[in-house]
Structure 1
Amino acid sequence: MSIIDWFIVAIYAIIVIGIGIAASRKQNNTEEYFRGSRQLPWWAIGFSIIATSFSAASLLGGPGEGYEHGFLYLQLQFGDLIGYGLVIFIFLPLFVGLNLTTAYEYLEKRFDAKTRSLGSLCFLLFVIARLGGLLYAASLVVSTITGMPVYIAILIVGVISIVYTVAGGITAVVWTDVLQFAMIFVGLAAGIWAATSGVPGGFGELWRAASEGGKLAVVNLSWEPESIRSLPTALIAYGILAFAIAGTNQQSVQRYVSCADVPSARKAIFLGWFSGFVGVAATLLLGVLLFGFYSLNAGLPDDVKPDGILSYFIVNQVPPGASGLLVAAIFAAAMSSIDSALHSLATCMTVDFYDRYAKSEYSESRSLKVAQGLIVVWGIVGIISAFFVASTGKSLLPFLVTYTTMFLGPLLGIFLMGVLVPRINANGAFYGTVAAVILIVVGSENGWFNFPGIWRSAITAPIAIILGLAISLISSEPPERSVQGLTLWHSSQLQGKPMNRPGLEDND
């Protein structure tokens, strides 16, 4: 890292913190802090939707994936399109029309308080499990490239994320996401430029070498249930997983409900998908070009793993200036996921637990302080978790792959019960979901269910719905007030009716 590289990274960090400070001047109530008073432009929210899921692992893993397998990973973006399309058709009118702050408020309106708490808890476990891994992965790369100790890198990335998230709320998160996504593209462009300018013949020569290496295939039509690089798996299994993430994950839903209306949210979602498609294609392109680059330059050392290809390239081939842009891009990719995780954690814990169950009289200022305090608390927890991973060397990735879908599958099942099946009552939704989780966990441990992990959401959600309906059929029908305007079949009765907070007293 040269002086110019450090200067670029420092300027980027100052701008991010400045956005948080500027946004903090308007943070006087929870409506502004959690949803930006629904005045954020749809295009900014659209970029924020994809920036949230575009982590440092995406920026590092994408080139490695392109290097190893070419453009096949791009098939997953068609699964994303299916997932987003289902969200627009099934969930979006309810989420925006009911004027929600968290997705799980809907579950209390449709079912009861315990189902709402179960849904929110599934989400919290998903994010908490992911937070330390996100922070460590980014910090490890920053440490490798800059030469600073990994613990210092963890502190820097973590503290900067905490500061601007606490200060600016969702407004700061969205606008920094826009900046961060732009920074990611600038960094990718710098990497592509460095690769193409590093060989005689430039882009054309690298493309020829990649073609000879069989790296230009985009579609694999074969039926391979265990492979994410198979189109049927990408469309069905990953499509349903994407539906669960986009439709029940508070990090995504918080952006939809920050839009002014349903058409704005719809445009934001489509922009988010398209920008994500372009972003993934760019990371894969960089990896394909790096394959050509090292094919023409004596290859990579044996100890460089796919996820480390970009780091190795930055350290050894990228000139000053471009290195700073790439490091800033890695910072950006990390923070765009970390700030969203922290803010959504605080929002859910404040709205779904503190505001819902606190015995004291509801107070805007108190709830705002609680949310800000929770961001600090969970930021510190994430830093400690990243320290633990750094000290033990144990990877969180196997845990995340296994349990992410275990949390999201049941969560999708609960929401689909509420929106699609009016006959399911509160006890059916709650106990059907719990029974489905137990069945899948026990079945997986005992070998009853031998299916690839990516299919877990596609299998768990229908099982939860079937069990929920069975339990509901042997008990009473849900009251009329729990379905009117709250299912897909009753949505015409929805007239933008707001949710009552903190306790939704009309359904107690």
Structure 2
Amino acid sequence: MSQIDWLVLSLTLLSIVFYGVWKSRHTKDLSGYLLADKQLPWYHVGLSVMATQASAITFLSAPGQSYNDGLRFVQFYFGLPLAMIVLCITFIPIFKNLNVYTAYEYLEKRFDNKTRSLTAFLFLLQRGLSTGITLYAPAIILSTILNTDINYMIIFTGVIVISYTVYGGTKAVSHTQMLQMAIIFSGLFLSAYLVIKMLPTDVGFIDALSIAGKMNKLNAIDTHFDLNNKYNIWSGIIGGFFLQLSYFGTDQSQVGRYLTGKSISQSRLGLVMNGVLKIPMQFFILMIGILVFVFYQFNSAPIFFNKVEVDRIENSAYKEEYKQLEQDYEVASSAKLIEVNKLVKAIEDKDVAAIGSAKTSLQVADKKVTEIRKKVPALMEKNDSKADTNDGNYIFLRFVTEHFPIGVIGLLIAIIFLAAMGSTASGLNSLASTTVVDFYKRIYKKEQSETHYVSASRWITVAWGAFCVVVGIYASKLGNLIEAVNVLGSLFYGTILGIFLVAFYMKKINGKAVFSAALIAESFIIFAWLKELTAFLWLNVIGCLLVMLFAFVIQLVINNTSKNTASTE
């Protein structure tokens, strides 16, 4: 990057950090540190909720996801508006009226200590791993730009985020997230504008969409029902509904955001805002990836987008084989460009027959290019079994650093860092609050001062930060990061949601029944995932329904056993 880019990046990040520190300078008690004194307005709540979900992974991996797989990932969010309605009607009033710090406090009031502890533990495990993965994303940027070991960058990024979160708590996180989202939205619109301007002069936005459509990249809706299909309208609406309901309703990283609202109505408005804006925002980010894909139909795309791995293979015993693949790739790409231009000409002439012929020829040419690209990861693995062979996370970053103008590069990289800071800080804050409130304060230190608990929260934040750094170091083996985070959530969210739905709607079920049901259901979910019995989104539905079913059956057994025992006496 240029000095101007580094200046833009540094000033943006420093201004955000100092703003958060300044806004949280009066935080002294546990309510202020964990819930920002419950004084935030609805728009603040909504932007904080969005910023928590929109991590650096969203802006790094989502364009790469659509570049490789089209728009069908957007179906993942189709259940979100429905989930927001249920949350506003049921979850928010219960949590706000009980005046809880965490969602899991309610479970002790409804069931017992062990159910609360189990649910809080499942959350801590899932959120600790997910936060570690989100910490990996910005480290990709630094390691790529500086050409350094990514593990050092993970540690460096982790130290920055931990320091920032430890000082300010939820108040610092919430205030900075509002400013972060304003900068992020501005940067996204600027990115889309620049990509369109970089297309050939005779190729406009509509032409770009036509080309992407002919290459099967505008596949936003898939109506075929298939349990093994990760992204279709059914898995999105049904599986996505259960995942989003669990994420926003039972994950403390999100519950802690809307508990900061001034009132029930302010928290509700914040979630409604998220439900209205999230799908268009995600669609827009995926569309940027589609436009980058179209750009590379007219310009030479790298055979592999991760420059660090390319440098390694070019300096290895396999460098000659790699050079040959590059030569074959250039020839195939040149042949593909000819077919792309034929398609553009046919679209301009509105010649239906020519469009059909050009489309078929282009798909054949594209297949040849793809087959050559697939040989590169295999070669890299021969050279180093630990090589990061999934370059989807590097597509948008490589495009930005090579083609965006000076100054804008720094801004876009700052945006990715801001997203990382917001989501990681929320994750660490929720891990600390759950650990302190649901375990430390309840079991270990029951009667201590507010100052003691705030201090404990800070130290526990440091401990969780260290754990997340370790997870981040191993995150490179998880493939596309945005998908990896959602797969990980699906392993636990269904079970957690099932526990809460039993608590809300199945009033005759007691703690013993739901605790046993949760253990059985979670064991089945892990088994189904290991055996690849279904696509990951359906695990949320299955886990939730199994908890409710098993809890009902176990409660019947407990009741019958009690009746039989009483009758024999």
TM-score for both structures, normalised by structure 1? 0.87
Q: Give yes or no for contact 1:50–1:273 (8 Å, CA) kept in 2.
A: no
- State the partner residue of 2:548: 465
Give 1:151 shift: 3.7
- Is the Cα–Cα contact under 8 Å of residues 433 and 464 in structure 1 kept in the other structure? yes
Which position in structure 1 is the counterpart of 2:9?
Answer: 9
1:430 aligns to 2:515 (yes or no)? yes
Shift of 1:97: 1.6
What amino acid sits opposite 1:410 in the alignment?
Answer: T
Identity fraction in percent? 31
The answer to whether the aligner puts 1:346 opposite 2:441 as a matched pair is: no
CA contact (8 A) 2:44 2:178 kept: yes
- Per the alignment, residue 499 of structure 2 pairs with 414
Residue 200 of structure 1 corresponds to which residue in structure 2?
200
Mean Cα deviation higher: 356-365 or 104-113 = 356-365
In the TM superposition, 1:153-302 aligns within 5 A as 153-201=153-201, 203-301=205-303
1:359 shift after superposition: 4.6
1:312 CA displacement: 1.6
Aligned-pair distance for 1:217?
A: 4.2
Higher mean alpha-carbon deviation, 195-204 vs 406-415, is at 195-204
> Could you tell me how far 1:332 is from its partner in structure 2?
1.4
**Equivalent position amino acid for 1:433 in 2:** A
SS of the equivalent of 1:172 reads helix
- CA change 1:371–1:141 in 2 (3 A) is same
Kept in 2: contact 1:52–1:251 (CA 8 A): yes
Task: Find out whether 1:333 has 2:419 as its counterpart.
Answer: yes
Alignment CA distance shift 1:328-1:444 (3 Å): closer
**Which residue identity lines up with residue 507 of structure 2 in the other structure?**
P
Residue number in structure 2 paired with 1:375: 461
Q: SS of the residue aligned with 2:78? A: helix
Amino acid at match of 1:326: L
Residues in 1 aligned to 2:529 and 2:163: alpha-carbon distance in whole angstroms: 41
SS of 2:79 mapped into structure 1: helix
Structure 1 residues 428 and 185, CA gap change in structure 2 (3 angstroms)? same
CA deviation after TM superposition for structure 1 residue 290, in Å: 1.0
Return the alpha-carbon distance in structure 1 between the equivalents of residues 392 and 128 of structure 2. 27
Hey, what's the Cα distance between the residues in 2 that align with 1:102 and 1:92?
12
TM-score normalised by length of structure 2: 0.78
Partner Cα distance (1:300, 1:383) in 2: 30
What residue in structure 2 maps to residue 133 of structure 1?
A: 133
Pick closer, same or farther for the CA change 1:206–1:21 going to 2, 3 Å: same
Cα pair 2:78 2:240 within 8 Å, conserved: no
Deviation at 1:146, TM superposition (A): 4.4
Gaps of 5+ in 1: 478-508
**What is the rounded CA distance, in whole Å, between the counterparts of 2:444 and 2:300 in structure 1?**
64
Which protein has the larger Cα radius of gyration, Structure 1 or Structure 2? Answer: 2
- Give distance in 2, aligned partners of 1:234 and 1:389: 25
Do the aligned partners of 1:122 and 1:407 also contact (CA within 8 Å) in 2? yes
Q: Distance in 2 between matches of 1:250 and 1:375?
A: 14
Structure 1 CA distance, aligned partners of 2:41 and 2:6?
Answer: 33
SS, match of residue 26 in structure 2: coil
- Residues 312-331 of structure 1: matches in 2 within 5 Å? 312-331=398-417
Equivalents in 1 of 2:196, 2:486: separation in Å?
35
User: CA separation in 2, counterparts of 1:14 and 1:444?
Assistant: 42
User: CA-to-partner distance for each residue in 1:269-315, whole Å, 9 max, x for gaps?
Assistant: 01122332232122112111112211122445256643321012022
Shift of 1:320: 0.9
Q: Shift of the alpha carbon at 1:13?
A: 1.6
SS in 2 for 1:197: helix
Shift of 1:358: 2.6
CA RMSD of aligned residues (A): 2.4
- The whole-number CA distance in structure 1 between the counterparts of 2:555 and 2:65 is 46
The residue type equivalent to 1:295 in the other structure is Q
Preserved contact between residue 16 and residue 164 of structure 1 (Cα < 8 Å): no
CA distance in 2, matches of 1:338, 1:254: 14
The structure richer in helix per residue is: 2
The answer (yes or no) to whether the contact 2:126–2:489 under 8 Å persists in 1 is yes
Higher deviation after alignment, 341-350 or 356-365: 356-365
The answer as to whether partners of 2:236 and 2:537 remain within 8 angstroms in 1 is: no
Q: How far apart, CA to CA, are the structure 1 residues paired with 2:478 and 2:230?
A: 25
Range that drifts further, 208-217 or 99-108:
208-217
User: Structure 2 unaligned runs (5+)?
Assistant: 307-390, 561-569
Q: Which deviates more, 367-376 or 278-287? A: 278-287
CA contact (8 A) 1:102 1:348 kept: yes
State whether residues 142 and 327 of structure 1, in contact with CA within 8 Å, keep that contact through their aligned partners in structure 2. Answer: no
Q: Decide whether the 8 Å contact of 1:76 with 1:234 is kept in 2.
A: yes
C-alpha separation between the residues in 1 aligned to 2:484 and 2:276? Answer: 30
Tell me the distance in 2 between the aligned counterparts of 1:275 and 1:148: 37
Q: Deviations over 1:357-400 (max 9, x none)?
A: 1355232111111001111121122223334557xx67696975
Aligned counterpart, 1:384: 470
| Cα distance in 2 for residues equivalent to 1:178 and 1:359 | 34
Contact 1:429 / 1:468 at 8 angstroms: preserved in 2? yes
* Distance in 2 (alpha carbons) for counterparts of 1:74 and 1:360: 46
